[in-house]
Structure 1
């Protein structure tokens, strides 16, 4: 067996290579969480919760000239590439973008699943704050609660509104300025 040439890995950026590969997995949506590749197979119950949020913010997002979706979010300099359950981003930033940065969003929403609840509660909350996502809404299906995190910084979000039990109205601050009805989650 021969050895690889000494310059075999020269110029290869492992982070970039991994993030390139994740975008080219056929027939699967996948994300990278702290260097671990995870597929994103949502259930209908999970999707129903996301749809409840989407319906309520749709009109305001249009007024703000924003797009609502679940496009790729890159966290440069880290082994993370997220596909949020829902994000609101300015239409101009989304146009032609393969991936955006969390600080280019206005709102990121994650809905927990049995398989990844702690990832959404702890890891993603910390990383979204570090990368400047201004608002992070956590819909915790296991706890049947909703928490809105704001004021991001390097040590995490400095403000948490919640957890509020399902059925509570949760106020999204400006630029949204709307109250979310969580009774249908």
Structure 2
């Protein structure tokens, strides 16, 4: 039995394109790359971007210790789609993070934070907001640096999020509900 020769760049015989694309992102593109609606997108956040995520992380720290949670920017898989995200910050149960070598699913998080950049602001505002809701992430905090606002999305549905608090101008406290029950100070974002 012989098979036809496959020419370079012809992926028509790949049996599972989603699996192949996600393999490529994990093994070829590197740790700081995402797949957004099928497009491999390298990430190179600025110091200001990283600083905003750190402001949120530090405020969450004491509550995370009490609740046995950890935060990081580990991979999130959205199975059944051509999406593989690396959030700026995700909060997950410590025991789950400790035993997970690969990606987690959005519904395994307690909070996802994305900090917008000029190059990805619309992706964070529209695409990720919809996808995180569809995949059951309970809370999604968008730190929109271009508009200088924070918006908290909650109540995930198959269409996105049903609940929205904001946009709150930087400097206005943003309340994170249970299990955090914490008012975030957004002055330094």
Q: Tell me the residue number matched to 2:5.
A: 3
Are 1:174 and 2:169 counterparts? no
Q: Which of 148, 151, 160 matches 1:144? A: 148
Q: Which of 128, 133, 136 matches 1:129? A: 133
Which ranges of structure 2 fall in alignment gaps of 5 or more residues?
none
- Compare 117-126 and 13-22 and name the one that shifted more: 13-22
Q: Tell me the residue number matched to 2:33.
A: 30
Using the alignment, how far apart are the partners of 2:182 and 2:151 within structure 1? 15
SS in 1 for 2:157: coil
Are 1:72 and 2:75 counterparts? yes
- Compare 152-161 and 27-36 and name the one that shifted more: 27-36
Q: Please identify runs of 4+ aligned residues in structure 1 that moved more than 3 A.
A: 2-5
SS in 1 for 2:13: coil
Q: Which of 13, 16, 21 matches 1:13? A: 16
SS in 2 for 1:23: helix
Using the alignment, how far apart are the partners of 1:152 and 1:50 within structure 2? 23
Q: Which of 90, 94, 105 matches 2:93? A: 90
Deviation for aligned residue 1:9 = 2.8
Which ranges of structure 1 fall in alignment gaps of 5 or more residues?
none
The number of equivalent residue pairs is 181
Using the alignment, how far apart are the partners of 1:175 and 1:16 within structure 2? 34
Q: 1:148 to 1:24 in 2, by over 3 A?
A: same
Deviation for aligned residue 1:28 = 5.0
SS in 2 for 1:24: helix
